[in-house]
């Protein structure tokens, strides 16, 4: 091959296509590395790292990398053949695969998440509007769901209270679609460019209802609003945000009119330079410290005082929570064995309870304290009994200040007790306060329905939090879910109706019981 052959149009085509393919492959790997950094951060900081669903985005990028790797190898094989005198044009399908790569979209989703979101819950989540959504509904697929009555959300953030949808549609393609579907405005779209419909389905092919007269962005906004209206997180519908980086506001009247329509669905719409640009995630590696804002933030709405349920009072004094290397015994209940396994993986106090309680005044109702003491006095070990006395400031610890209480606890624990903990726990008289609030009609009518399903202790705990407006912390997930469901079932059109504000601890700890001969 002569020197001139090296710079033939076909050779230059090979170079350009190989360069593009290599660039996309490298960007894929950078994005995967960043997602892995965040995944590792979740593993280090969360009791259950699977609560944040990043697998969908990562698997999409990994799939894209495989495709791009194959395309790159095919182009390189053609280039090698050309060097051997068998020069061929790069196949159009290979160039199309490179130019239509989904990578820029994935980069944009990740960039928007890490630059504008907090409290990440999921990438790529489907939500339905079949009328069955309840408080805390995360859109998990259930049997016989009609995918045509759903919307695919790119980012679920703010601990579930914000949904973000991303569209990388260009101005030209949007104007073309508007003209084709009869939007009543002049269009200067380049009709020769291939039209691309905004994707509103995930990779398993669940497309939405076809409506030839409806613009995809408008349908998307409508679908998001329908699904959000059937979903509540902590008694509130999620906020909606649509990010369209390639569309500029204020330049085309017809596009501005369309944006007004989108916002009429009570959706925040971000355009152009105000939205993160695609490809930014590939420019540099992101350290863990720069991704911490994406971690779940379950404590941000806590009140200054926390109402502690009986289940967590027990966890605060249990040997299971405070001692390391407790050997399982055949005499232990299977629940105790399971809790020992959980504790070895991630200690409850240091990973969940201490972070939740730090800096907050702690109270509990008389009923919760009485029941907890009964259990401790019946089956508690000597150390569990002593922790209980310190926790409540019993004699001879009634004169101890917070610092002394923490020091006393430290002497009975293998874990470092945070100095920010505000102990002892104060016991409050709840019954008269609750009765008075009910008599004065300070609670909504649905409270009567809630009261019907609660035991005396649970009524005391959860209604005290409801009446006072303070956050209750509990590990009684079953009862909390029942309360939320009843509130939703009896909302009767009251969009502002709320039940008690409750945070559910992921797991509980029982007292280990008076088992002798264990290692501690």
| Annotated domain spans of the chain | 9-80+92-128+148-187+213-274+289-293, 298-504
Give CA 433 to chain center in angstroms.
36
| CATH code at 298-504 | 3.40.50.1010
Structure tokens at 100: 């239509």
In this predicted model, what pLDDT tens digit does every residue of 181-199 receive, in sequence order?
Answer: 887 644 444 444 433 333 3
- Per-residue pLDDT, averaged over 253-261, amounts to 93
Q: Which residues pair with 472 in a beta bridge?
A: 307, 502
Instruction: Say what the pLDDT of residue 273 is.
Output: 62
Partners of 305 in beta bridges: 361
pLDDT bracket for residue 203 (50, 70, 90): very low
Residues 6+ apart with CB under 8 A from 355: 299
pLDDT digits (tens, 9 = 90+) for 57-102: 999 999 999 999 988 888 777 766 665 455 555 567 777 788 889 9
Report how far residue 346's alpha carbon sits from residue 407's, in angstroms, rounded to the nearest whole number: 23
Structure tokens at 123: 């990438």
| Nearest one of 396, 393, 468, 452 to 423, comparing CA atoms | 393
Tokens of 82: 């050309």
pTM listed for this prediction: 0.81
Please report the sign of the dihedral spanned by the C-alpha atoms of residue 228, residue 266, residue 216, residue 244. Answer: negative
Check: CB of residue 309 under 8 Å from CB of residue 502.
Answer: no
Tokens representing 382 are 């000597």
pLDDT digits over 212-249, tens only? Answer: 568 999 999 999 999 999 999 989 999 999 999 999 99
Q: 448, 471, 444: which is closest to 459 by C-alpha?
A: 448
> Which is nearest to 303 in space by CA: 465, 499, 148?
465
pLDDT of 36 reads 94
- Mind listing the pLDDT tens digit for each residue in 264-307? 999 999 998 654 444 444 333 446 788 999 999 889 999 999 99
Q: Which helix (H) or strand (E) holds 437?
A: helix 431-439
The single-letter DSSP state of residue 77 is: H
Instruction: Determine contact, residues 361/305, Cβ cutoff 8 Å.
Output: yes
Give the residue ranges of DSSP H helices in 46-170: 55-83, 92-99, 103-116
Mean pLDDT of 356-369: 96
Taking residues 18-37, what's their average pLDDT? 92
Checking if the pLDDT of 168 tops 50, the result is yes
**Beta strand segments in 311-396, E:** 361-365
pLDDT one-digit tens code per residue, 466-477: 999 999 999 999
Q: How would you classify residue 509: left for phi > 0, otherwise alpha for psi between -120 and 50, otherwise beta?
A: beta
Angle CA 172–175–181, to nearest 5: 140
Residues in CB range of 382: below 8 A, 6 or more apart: none
Cα Rg of the chain, angstroms? 29
Instruction: Give me the pLDDT at residue 59, please.
Output: 95
Do 451 and 459 form a contact (C-beta atoms < 8 A)? yes
Cα separation, 24 vs 101, in Å, equals 8
Instruction: Return mean pLDDT, the chain.
Output: 84
Token couple for 360: 């907050």
């Amino acid at each position: 091959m002569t020197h001139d052959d090296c710079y033939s149009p076909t050779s230059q085509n090979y170079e350009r296509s190989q360069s593009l393919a290599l660039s996309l492959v490298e960007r894929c790997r950078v994005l995967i590395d960043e997602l892995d950094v965040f995944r590792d951060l979740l593993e280090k900081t969360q009791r259950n790292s699977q609560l944040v669903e990043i697998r969908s985005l990562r698997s999409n990028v990994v799939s894209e990398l495989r495709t791009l790797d194959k395309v790159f190898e095919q182009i390189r094989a053609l280039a090698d053949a050309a060097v051997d005198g068998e020069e061929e044009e790069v196949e159009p399908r290979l160039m199309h695969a490179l130019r239509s790569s989904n990578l820029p979209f994935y980069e944009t989703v990740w960039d928007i998440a890490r630059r504008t979101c907090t409290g990440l819950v999921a990438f790529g989540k489907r939500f339905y509007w079949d009328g069955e959504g309840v408080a805390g509904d995360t859109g998990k697929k259930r049997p016989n769901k009609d995918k045509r009555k759903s919307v695919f959300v790119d980012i679920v953030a703010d601990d579930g209270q914000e949904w973000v949808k991303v569209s990388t549609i260009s101005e030209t393609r949007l104007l073309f679609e508007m003209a084709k579907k009869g939007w009543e405005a002049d269009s200067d779209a380049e009709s020769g460019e291939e039209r691309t419909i905004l994707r509103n389905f995930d990779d398993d092919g669940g497309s939405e209802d076809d409506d030839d007269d409806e613009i995809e962005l408008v349908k998307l906004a409508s679908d998001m609003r329908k699904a959000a209206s059937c979903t509540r997180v902590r008694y509130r519908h999620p906020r909606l945000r649509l990010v369209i980086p390639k569309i500029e506001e204020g330049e085309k009247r017809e596009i501005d009119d369309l944006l007004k329509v989108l916002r009429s669905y009570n959706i925040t719409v971000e355009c152009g330079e105000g939205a993160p640009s695609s490809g930014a995630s590939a420019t540099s590696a992101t350290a863990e410290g720069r991704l911490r804002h994406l971690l779940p933030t379950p404590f941000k709405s806590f009140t200054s005082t926390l109402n502690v349920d009986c289940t967590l009072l027990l966890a605060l004094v249990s040997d299971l929570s405070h001692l390391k290397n407790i050997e399982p015994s055949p005499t232990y209940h299977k629940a105790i064995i399971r809790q020992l396994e959980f504790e070895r993986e991630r200690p409850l106090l240091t990973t969940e309870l201490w972070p939740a309680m730090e800096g907050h005044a702690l109270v509990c109702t008389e009923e919760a304290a009485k029941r907890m003491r009964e259990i401790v006095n019946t089956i508690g070990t000597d150390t569990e009994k002593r922790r209980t006395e310190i926790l409540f400031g019993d004699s001879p610890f009634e004169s101890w200040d917070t610092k002394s209480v923490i020091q006393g606890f430290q002497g009975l624990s293998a874990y470092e007790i945070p100095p920010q903990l505000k102990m002892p726990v104060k016991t409050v008289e709840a019954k008269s306060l609750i009765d008075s609030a009910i008599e004065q009609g300070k609670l909504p009518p649905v409270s009567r329905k809630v009261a019907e399903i609660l035991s005396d202790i649970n009524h005391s705990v959860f209604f005290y939090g409801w009446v006072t407006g303070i956050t209750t912390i509990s590990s009684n997930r079953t009862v909390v879910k029942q309360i939320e469901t009843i509130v939703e079932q009896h909302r009767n059109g009251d969009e502002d109706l709320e039940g008690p504000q409750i945070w559910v601890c992921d797991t509980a700890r029982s007292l280990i019981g008076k088992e002798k001969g264990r290692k501690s």
